[in-house]
Amino acid sequence: MAEIINLRQARKKKARADKEARAAENRIAFGRTRAERDKTKAEKELAERRLEGHKRDDETS
């Protein structure tokens, strides 16, 4: 026989878990110092420039 669950409690439990996951993402995104944000931004820009530099030109004119 299947276990009986209260749907209202299940929905609330899922909502709490979703809210906690979103809070964890926000702590990572917004809980950093300016130096950390600048470093991440610089690393991302460097990676994009390197990727662009390695792309081939397909112009066959």
What's the rounded Cα separation, in Å, for the pair 58 and 61?
A: 9
Could you give the CA distance from residue 4 to residue 12 in angstroms, rounded to a whole number? 16
pTM for the full predicted model: 0.49
Q: Tell me the pLDDT band of 8, cut-offs 50, 70 and 90.
A: very high
Q: Hey, where are the domains in the chain?
A: 7-54
Q: Which of 36, 55, 33, 54 is nearest to 44 (CA)?
A: 36
- Residue 25 CA to residue 19 CA, distance in Å, equals 10
What are the pLDDT digits (tens) for 24-61? 999 988 888 999 989 999 999 999 999 998 888 877 65
For 48, half-sphere exposure in the C-beta direction (CA atoms, 13 angstrom radius) is 6
